[in-house]
């Protein structure tokens, strides 16, 4: 059973969260922001209204998160007191403690996500490395891993683009992921993911190494001002679909956007190639491709800003695109993050989307910086 010191320590952490998050001030702020939504002309500007509703939702999420912490710590105190009177068992007290710890740690981790972009949806792209079928199979396993992670966290996932492998697996996939702090959590996945296993595609049963790159950027909307040079945009269309039959579109609804622009400050060329086959409407796919372009341009601006800051100390170990961040060694039953040193033998759980410990350790050590 827990000690009185453990009880006091978790209560102190809960109280500090209330202070850090300014919960009392947020309650007042929520009332004020909700009043704005009741204005008769509120929905006349749809984009501004949607931005305001997201703001209200964000404030509510912080308050509800703290309420979960408060309720859990109060239940723990009651269980601790009742145990002395033999009204509850020691096991029940320990269960209440485990629940309180989970609630507190979840809110502490969320509190590390203080950047504006952390609250945004995310675009997550997986690209298989060299190695043909073996690497493409690994990319597909990562796709399933992130789909399962999103399911566990009630995130909405939309596949914007998918290119299947030559024999098995996938060459690349792009997700749009919507949910609470989606980018803030998933930004920790940027980099190269390495698989070591006895390959089922190798006749000699040799141990092989495969790589896949994961790229994550915030998915922005029209309420954020990003300059896009219309003269730098060109479009192609193509048919989307699977292996044949009824799955293949008879019309060219998928779109390919090529962007050739210049950095307004440096004159440096800016080039992006974006494909979208999310819907059967070419117009909708064009709009989705433009949204992803704006997200990429926004990410580029963020990286420029961060490059000028001294916050990138050596201890922060900021991820560079293309750096190897994590190894999944199936034979040795080990998954290790090379940035934080965190590792686990629960390979199956990780491949089933259990990334919380890795993400938490990354945010703890990197201070939520990106």
**Which are the contacts of 97, defined by CB distance < 8 A and separation ≥ 6?**
2, 6, 7, 10, 76
Average per-residue pLDDT for the chain: 87
Q: What's the pLDDT band for 312 if we cut at 50, 70, 90?
A: very low
Phi, psi (rounded to 5 degrees) for 67: -60, -35
Distance between CA atoms of residues 368 and 168, nearest Å:
36
Distance between CA atoms of residues 234 and 91, nearest Å:
64
Q: What's the pLDDT band for 250 if we cut at 50, 70, 90?
A: low
Residue 102 reports pLDDT greater than 70? yes
**Which pair of structure tokens corresponds to residue 95?**
């269960």
Place of tokens 């009043």: 35
Distance between CA atoms of residues 136 and 132, nearest Å:
6
Residue 244 reports pLDDT greater than 50? no
Q: What is the 3-state secondary structure (H, E, C) of the chain?
A: CCCHHHHHHHHHHHHHHHHHCCHHHHHHHHHHHHHHCCCCCHHHCHHHHHHHHHHHHHHHHHHHHHHHHHHHHHHHHHHHHHHHCCCCCHHHHHHHHHHHHHHHHHHHHHHCCCCHHHHCCEEEEEEECCCCHHHHHHHHHHHHHHHHHHHHCCCEEEEEEEEECCCCCEEEEEEEEECCCHHHHHHHHCEEEEEEEECCCCCCCCEEEEEEEEEEEECCCCCCCCCCCHHHEEEEEECCCCCCHHHCCCCCCEEEEEEEEECCCCCCEEEEEEEECCCCCHHHHHHHHHHHHHHHHHHHHHHHHHHCCCCCCCCCCCCCCCCEEEEEECCCCEEEECCCCCEECCHHHHHCCCCHHHHHHHHHHHCCCC
pLDDT for residue 222: 59
List, for residues 210-222, the tens digit of each pLDDT value: 999 999 988 876 5
Residue 225 reports pLDDT greater than 80? no
Average pLDDT over residues 114-133: 87
Residue 224 reports pLDDT greater than 80? no
Q: What's the pLDDT band for 239 if we cut at 50, 70, 90?
A: confident
List, for residues 154-204, the tens digit of each pLDDT value: 999 999 999 999 889 999 999 999 998 899 999 999 999 999 999 888 777
Residue 310 reports pLDDT greater than 70? no
- For the chain, domains (ranges, CATH) are 4-111 (1.20.58.410), 117-218+313-366 (3.30.70.1660), 230-307 (3.30.160)
Q: Provide the whole-model pTM.
A: 0.68
End-to-end CA gap in the chain: 40
pLDDT for residue 247: 45
CA distances (Å), origin 159, targets 87, 259, 294: 52, 21, 18
pLDDT for residue 245: 44
- Judge whether 345 and 210 are in contact, CB under 8 Å: no
pLDDT for residue 305: 64
Residue 4 reports pLDDT greater than 80? yes
């Amino acid at each position: 059973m827990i000690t009185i010191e453990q009880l006091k320590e978790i209560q102190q952490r809960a109280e500090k969260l209330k202070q850090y998050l300014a919960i009392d001030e947020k309650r007042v702020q929520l009332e004020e922001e909700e009043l704005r939504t009741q204005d008769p002309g509120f929905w006349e500007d749809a984009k501004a209204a949607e931005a305001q509703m997201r703001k209200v939702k964000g404030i509510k999420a912080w308050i509800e998160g703290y309420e979960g912490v408060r309720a859990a710590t109060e239940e723990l105190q009651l269980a601790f007191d009742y145990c002395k009177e033999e009204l509850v068992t020691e096991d029940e007290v320990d269960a209440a403690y485990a629940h309180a710890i989970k609630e507190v740690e979840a809110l502490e981790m969320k509190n590390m996500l203080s950047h504006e972009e952390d609250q945004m949806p995310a675009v997550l792209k997986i690209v298989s490395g060299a190695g043909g079928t073996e690497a493409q199979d690994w990319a597909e396993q990562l796709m399933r891993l992130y789909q399962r992670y999103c399911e566990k966290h009630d995130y909405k996932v939309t596949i914007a683009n998918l290119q299947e492998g030559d024999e098995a697996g996938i060459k690349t996939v792009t997700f749009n992921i919507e949910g609470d702090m989606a980018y803030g959590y998933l930004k920790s996945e940027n980099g190269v993911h390495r698989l070591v296993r006895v390959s089922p595609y190798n006749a000699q049963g040799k141990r092989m190494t495969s790589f896949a790159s994961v790229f994550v950027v915030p998915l922005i909307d029209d309420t954020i001002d990003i300059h896009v040079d219309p003269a730098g945009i060109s479009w192609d269309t193509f048919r989307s679909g699977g292996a044949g039959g009824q799955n293949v579109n008879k019309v060219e609804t998928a779109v390919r956007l090529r962007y050739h622009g210049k950095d307004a400050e440096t004159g440096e060329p800016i080039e992006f190639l974006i494909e979208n086959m999310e819907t059967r409407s070419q117009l909708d796919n064009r709009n989705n491709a433009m949204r992803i372009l704006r997200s990429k341009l926004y990410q580029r601006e963020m990286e420029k800003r961060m490059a000028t800051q001294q916050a990138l100390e050596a201890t922060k170990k900021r991820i560079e695109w293309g750096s190897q961040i994590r190894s999944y060694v199936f034979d040795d039953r080990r998954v290790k993050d090379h940035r934080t040193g965190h590792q686990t033998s629960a390979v199956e759980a990780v491949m089933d989307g259990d990334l919380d410990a890795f993400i938490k350790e990354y945010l703890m050590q990197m201070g939520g910086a990106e």
